[in-house]
Amino acid sequence: MPEIESSSLDRLVRTRGPMLLGVPAGITGSRTWTIAGAVQVLAGGAALGAAIFSGAAAELQAFGFIGVWFTLQGLYYLGTAGNVNKRAHAEGTPQARLTKEADGLLRRLIEGLDDSMPLPWRRAPRRSADLLVPEAFQLLDAAARQYNRVQGVLTIEGERASPTLHRLGPNIRAAADEALAEVLHAAALIQQFPESAAVHRAGACTRLEALDELAGTVERVQSTGPAGPALAAPASRLDEVLEELRSDQLARIEIASPEPAVQELKVGNPRSG
């Protein structure tokens, strides 16, 4: 099956989509394998039944072989579904409530990009760009790019992880989820009414700017530490997160750099020392 280039939105849908809906990751694949397995077992049972009641030796052999093959394949699919379901896990409680429109759009994207279908029924790979009107895709892909930047930094663990980001991680994720939920709602309305795309996109611009602000700040904190410059905070919950990050940076600077203040005092008083 040919590889196709994935967009930021494709990666977000596949990695974080189920979590945003509040369902375990991998649950879609589990259901797919279960349905495929059930169909295979039923087909195999029908073939075996036809073989038994046909009476003819040739038909018995042909239908019997087909029935056994379909039944075994169906049992394999059902076993795979069980394994997928065991590995499925919730990546965390969703931090933002999705509107009905946003929920429906995200479910459509998850189902459209699902490539876990067993081979006989597997369809050609699709992209989110193929499922959305251009205006909705451009808006969501721009938001997904910034959202993925935040998630990428927050996945750093161990000694390389920033203590500040580790402490504020839950609030940062919640802020990013809330901003993305608003953009999803706007994109869902654009998908329904492309004629009003300009209006809905204008309303989502502040969320895009907020996500870009948050992504830049967490990257700066992770890469440069407390000496990195602080950015002006946008409105809403991101304001709280960025304010905490900024306060932490300033506190570390004051604790780690007492000497400049002493030197400045000496320069201002030529008779001292």
pLDDT tens for each residue of 83-133? 545 444 444 455 578 999 999 999 889 888 876 555 555 566 678 999 999
pLDDT at 255 (0 to 100): 74
**pLDDT surpasses 50 at 1:** no
Q: Which residue has the higher pLDDT, 2 or 14?
A: 14
Q: What is the mean pLDDT of the chain?
A: 74
Residue in this structure with the two tokens 């997928």, named with its chain if needed? 84
pLDDT in tens, 237-246: 777 777 777 7
The per-residue pLDDT for 272 is 46
pLDDT digits 0-9 by tens, 173-199: 989 999 999 999 999 999 999 999 999
22: left (phi over 0), alpha (psi -120 to 50) or beta: left
Angle between helices 8-21 and 134-154 (to 10 degrees): 70
Residue 5, token pair as written in the block: 């280039």
Checking if the pLDDT of 67 tops 70, the result is no
Amino acid 199: pLDDT: 94
Question: What token pair was written down for 215?
Answer: 């992504």
According to the per-residue pLDDT averaged within each range, which of 40-44, 190-194, 235-239, 266-270 is highest? 190-194
Sign of the alpha-carbon dihedral angle for 181, 177, 13, 197 = positive
> 140 pLDDT exceeds 80?
yes
**Burial of residue 163 (number of CB atoms within 10 Å: 0-12, 13-18, 19+):** exposed
Model pTM score: 0.63
SS3 228: coil
Q: Please give the Cα distance from 170 to 262 (Å, whole number).
A: 38
Give the angle 22-26-28 at the CA atoms, nearest 5°. Answer: 85
Handedness of CA 114, 116, 119, 121 (dihedral sign): negative
